Structure 1
């Protein structure tokens, strides 16, 4: 799969209500370009792919909005909505906040968010200039997964 095919298929799957096969998401991931931490700074609105992962639906219950990367050492992984619709960093759910690093995952070095209070990593690759694909990984997850797959869309100010 080349990058253009990967982008097209990503868009189809992102808009899908049905379950998504993680094998297909892995094929898309493999075709996408890596990113540097500095390239992902800003505010992002998020969503998840329904793969049957145990975390599917958990972020929606927390009214997860997305992520904000103010600086490489100031990442807010769980921006949620409060009862009035306002946005806040849900530090309790995330056990703190996070920072951005370049980490090797599946043989490629790419921007990765490292959580401060738990052994969790969110790896990112570029779909296009305003969209990232993410894979959540962490301690205790075997090399073959299961992984939590998600996406971020840049919020234009």
Structure 2
């Protein structure tokens, strides 16, 4: 099955997604340069049972915004009144964008200012990114598994 078709099938899954399938898809996607992902992105979590899914749902996570390489907002959330804001409290600041090696490939990566956490991105197409959270194992891994998510350009 083509990469785009596999992405769409995983995106449409209503139940839990096998993290192994996400690992395999990640390996096949194209790397992307940090400068190419500037803009606003709506996010969603792939449901694998990772605890971060519940944290993001509780915060009403909307997505991410990359205004410049040195001005990235990892936690754009929806307030009670429906407005969007950057949750700097939960994220302990904001972030920057870099090109960083992960799993043997250099790709766009968001480095959180206040946490030992990195979000790596690969391109599904010009308007869609797959992300994987990496960093200090006790913060980002659940039973040795990474948290996977998607971003769609707004």
Alpha-carbon separation, structure 1, partners of 2:53 and 2:62: 15
State the match for 2:131 in structure 1. Answer: 134
State the match for 1:43 in structure 2. Answer: 40
C-alpha distance 109-145 of structure 1, shift in aligned 2 (>3 A) = farther
Alpha-carbon offset, residue 54 of structure 1: 1.7
Alpha-carbon offset, residue 57 of structure 1: 2.2
State the match for 2:63 in structure 1. Answer: 66
State the match for 1:99 in structure 2. Answer: 96
State the match for 1:111 in structure 2. Answer: 108
Alpha-carbon separation, structure 2, partners of 1:82 and 1:56: 18
Segments of structure 2 that go 5 or more residues without pairing to the other structure are: none
SS of equivalent residue, structure 1 residue 53: coil
SS of equivalent residue, structure 2 residue 53: coil
Q: TM-score, normalised by structure 1?
A: 0.92
State the match for 2:146 in structure 1. Answer: 147
State the match for 2:14 in structure 1. Answer: 17
CA contact (8 A) 1:64 1:80 kept: yes
Alpha-carbon offset, residue 140 of structure 1: 2.2
Q: TM-score, normalised by structure 2?
A: 0.94
Alpha-carbon offset, residue 71 of structure 1: 0.2
Alpha-carbon offset, residue 121 of structure 1: 0.4
Segments of structure 1 that go 5 or more residues without pairing to the other structure are: none
Alpha-carbon offset, residue 126 of structure 1: 0.1
SS of equivalent residue, structure 1 residue 19: coil
Q: Within the alignment, does 1:53 sit opposite 2:60 as a pair?
A: no
Alpha-carbon separation, structure 1, partners of 2:90 and 2:21: 29
Alpha-carbon separation, structure 2, partners of 1:29 and 1:145: 16
CA contact (8 A) 1:7 1:28 kept: no
Compute the RMSD of aligned alpha carbons. 1.4
Q: Deviations over 1:40-90 (max 9, x none)?
A: 000000000011112122211101100000000000000001110000000
